[in-house]
Structure 1
Amino acid sequence: MKQYLNANISDMKIGYGKSDINANVLVYADISSVPTLYLIGKDNSGKVQQTTVKTYPDQYSVDPEVMKEIINDVFTLYPAERKGVAFSSHANGSLYTPNTVRKRAFGDEESGYSMNITDIREALEGCPYMDVIMFDACLMANMETAYELKDRAHYFLAAPNSIPAEGFPYDKALPHLLKMDAAGLARAAQAYMKHFQNNDVEWDDFVSISVSDLSQMNALALYMDSLFQDEAVQNHLMKVDRDDLQMFETGFQLYDYGEWVDSIGLSSPYVPKIRTILDEAVVYKEYSDYSSVNDYTAMPEIPIKDGAFSGLSTYVPPRVSQLLQPGYDMLMMRFFTSLKWYRDAGFWRVPLYNIFEQDSEE
């Protein structure tokens, strides 16, 4: 991981050298003897340079309070009209893992501690509103994460499947990322796709990406809540077999959000309304023929079906009969009831989901 992050920083310097935008690029990295905040900038002659801004005591970088402090340090020391933040690490999307400085969806320190998406949202509360939040981390383009972060940024750039270990090609993407508007973010996403589809590593060809307008998330939640008021939809939802849906990574219970909505909605008039808003929310999306790597046959390729890529994934539980057995899905369902998406989108109305609500505060 450290070698990739060091390479990313080097690529950022190359990418910044290509940009005509006057920007402060701050990088916080906990990969050396002490956690360090760096500035990538240009000297008076225009030469790109990297300088140390601040060092921190040994700390858990995935602690929400620590993350909040670092982000506020950045915007206090270097105020700017446009703002964005990119998170780079391991991740498993909106899924729950019980191992935190408080639980993992994002992050993977040597300590083993990580963050849930609720922790990331908490870390960003009190920080300035962003133009973009980006995840250079696997599986983060999902509805649950987008909704948790909807009040923290305008745009959301992430991948619904895995990202190759080397991460974003910042030498190519950073000049576009720094524009922090829909067109620039789309071009950054295109640079990501082109880089991995055209490189010499055969098993890097599985990439996909999306850019979403988070200002549309409230409308999606409103129509979802209306859909879930239909008792027939509630009953049908409990019978949906997730094995029939488009998944994005073996072993992770994340499936295409748009296809899932189509599968649960019966003939509800709210389904086309949801799909219309979803198409407006996902301002850019691109995908390869398959979504999972075939790395020396260690993992099977997962083809992406025609019409089964909306740009965002979502957690889908197993059928209700399978939830009666203790296991990961039961833990995940309890966690799900703590999410803003659960409450605002009306999942609390559905027996498949609300049977775990009483346990969500434990």
Structure 2
Amino acid sequence: MSSIRTEGFQPVLLPSRADSTRVTPQPAESVPEAPKKPSPKPPAQWNILMYLAGDNSLEQALVQNVIDLEKVGSTKAMNVIAQLDRGPHPSQKSGAWANAKRFYVTKDDDDQNINSPVIKEMGNLNMSDPKVLTNFIVESAKDYPSIRTMLVIGDHGDGFKGAAADDSTGGWMTTPQIKEAIAEAEKITGKKIDIVGFDACLMASSEVAYELKDNAKIMIASEESEGAYGWSYNEIFGERVFRAIRKLVTHKLDATPGDLAQMVVSTGEQNQKDIPTLSAVDLSKMGQVGEALSGLGEAILALEDKAPVKSAFQKSNGFGGWMGGDYLDLYDVADALSKSEAVKSDAVKQAAEKVKESLKQAVFAEEHSTKYPQAHGLTAYAPTYLSSYSDDFKQYQDLAIAKDTKWDETLKAVAEAKGAPGEHGSSPGSGSSPLYPHDDFQSPFGPFGMFPWRDGLPLPY
């Protein structure tokens, strides 16, 4: 379709035939054009959103995480945005500035200080408030458009109980609240989070994955406790890895969430000193896991004698050490039930096999150190002491998996079952793992140092 340009001239009335005066068009006054709007910046392939709740004992470690991120920085294809809360009483690290700031992470070689430009001064922020997490996701999506988004929550974690502690307020973000925050962000932006990662302990939980199944595509987390400095960002998003991403962009238009998740897990395998277990879960498969788990629960509930089930639980690989050890590798639990000579029910054995098959579909990338031969990527809460279950019963019932399946009723029935109480074993593969699974595991406070506390109990890392 063509158009006629008329800029620079005004229309002139032609004379009638009776008018002998010759009239010629005259140039119009020069009219300045309206300033052109700048072309919108093309979206990056990825936004990496780092939500670092450091108003607690992990403040120094999370500051160091941002410094490590600066060794890589953002690129045209990848925006790295970090929101870090240090609380009102920070350490002396990196200038001892207080409260929360949001950074656009840029590359530099200073290994002592955060030098990235500040996007926003946040003040004394409660990072355990789900509305704060929603705001971070929404504003980052608005200010830095991207095709894909990976959200990483970095702080203390405690399996199905949630993650992100705020000492100033005494706050703690529960798993349903994490879901609430991400769901609200999706409602506002119209975009689902591609990957949600937990740089926090014990979060590779079937309960957490089930909770988030409708609000993110992939989850990356660790079954076991992490070392203080968490994911090796400089390795995950270093030059070697980004070269691989660039190759993917060239040949496949963009790096898919699955590509990036597999890369994160394989890089974790090179850092087992801090991360002894790491897995990536296809959240679209968690509905099938929930159905299989519900079927197993119903089969167990039908048993008159549940003591053999309790015994199988106690022999399964657990995580969290002396802090409880009630997070058991779900595949290992199902495997123990399917192979147990003491469990006579074919229904239980068949249901256990279905759980194993569903987990094979859901967990598509997984790594573990040699200390964890029976780690398969997802835990399930399975206490064998009634007192332990009673303490957590109310909070567990708030979970989607408890509302949708029979697993919560099953846990109560197994915990109440008669039989030898039985302690978990002291080594991985025979009950619960130790808190520090091997000699070079890096605790934030040394091998036997002080631990952070919440509600009168020690927090995992």
In the superposition, the TM-score normalised over structure 2's length comes to: 0.62
Choose the corresponding residue for 1:229, options 298, 302, 306.
Answer: 298
- Are residues 235 and 212 of structure 1, via their aligned partners in 2, closer, same or farther at CA, if it must alter by over 3 Å? farther
String of CA shifts for 1:160-199, please: whole Å, max 9, x gaps: 00111111111110255974522322222222221344xx
- In the alignment, is the contact (CA less than 8 A) between 1:240 and 1:264 conserved in 2? no
The answer to whether the 8 Å contact 2:137/2:185 transfers is yes
Deviation at 1:262, TM superposition (A): 3.0
Alignment-derived partner of residue 278 in structure 1: 359
> 1:69 Cα shift?
1.8
Greater C-alpha radius of gyration: 2
Verify: 1:267 aligned to 2:346, yes or no.
yes
> Secondary structure at 1:107's aligned position in 2?
strand
Give the one of 243, 254, 258 matched to 2:314.
243
**Distance verdict in 2 for CA 1:230–1:3, change over 3 Å:** closer
Offset of residue 25 of structure 1: 1.1
Are the aligned partners of 2:310 and 2:414 in contact in 1 as well (CA < 8 Å)? no
Counterpart selection for 2:148 from 55, 63, 82:
82
Residue identity in the other structure for 1:26: I
Q: Which residue of structure 2 aligns with residue 295 of structure 1? A: none
Distance 2:413 2:145 in 1: 43
CA 1:220 to 1:110, structure 2 compared with 1: closer, same or farther past 3 Å?
A: same
| Partner Cα separation in structure 1 for residue 182 and residue 213 of structure 2 | 11
Change (3 A) 1:164 1:59: same
Show the counterpart of 1:125. Answer: 183
Structure-to-structure mapping, 1:48-127, within 5 angstroms = 50-95=116-161, 105-111=162-168, 112-127=170-185
Distance across 1 between alignment mates of 2:414 and 2:185: 32
Report the Cα distance in structure 2 between the residues aligned to 1:59 and 1:145, rounded to whole angstroms: 25
Q: Percent identity?
A: 22
Structure 2: distance between partners of 1:224 and 1:343: 13
| Aligned-partner Cα distance in 2 for 1:190–1:30 | 29
Displacement after TM superposition at 1:338 (Å) = 1.4
The residue that corresponds to 2:19 in the other structure is none
Cα distance in 1 for residues equivalent to 2:180 and 2:306: 31
Deviation at 1:76, TM superposition (A): 2.0
Q: Which amino acid aligns with 1:243?
A: Q
Q: 5+ unaligned residues in a row in structure 1: which ranges?
A: 44-48, 96-104, 198-203, 291-303, 357-362
Of the structure 1 ranges 331-340 and 236-245, higher mean CA displacement relative to structure 2 is found in 236-245
Q: What is the identity, as a one-letter code, of the residue corresponding to 1:267?
A: D
How does the TM-score come out when normalised to structure 1?
0.78
Q: How many residues align?
A: 313
RMSD: 2.9
Cα deviation code 1:236-266 (max 9, x no counterpart): 5564133322112212311111122234464
CA gap of 1:289–1:216, structure 2 versus 1, over 3 A, is same
Q: Residue type matched to 2:208 in 1? A: T
Partners of 2:179 and 2:211 within 8 A in 1: yes
Hey, what does 1:191 align to over in structure 2?
267
Q: Match for 1:2 among 35, 59, 67?
A: 59
Looking at structure 2, the residues matched to 174 and 353 of structure 1 have their Cα atoms a distance apart, in angstroms, of 46
Task: Note the C-alpha offset of 1:232.
Answer: 6.0
What 5-or-longer segments of structure 2 have no aligned partner?
A: 1-57, 87-96, 109-114, 187-191, 246-254, 339-344, 417-461
Alignment partner of 1:127: what SS? helix
Distance in 2 separating the partners of 1:354 and 1:80: 47
Shift of 1:117: 1.0
C-alpha distance in structure 2 between counterparts of 1:235 and 1:28, whole Å: 52
Q: Cα gap change, 1:235/1:141 in structure 2, threshold over 3 Å: closer, same or farther? A: farther
* Letter in structure 2 aligned against 1:240: K
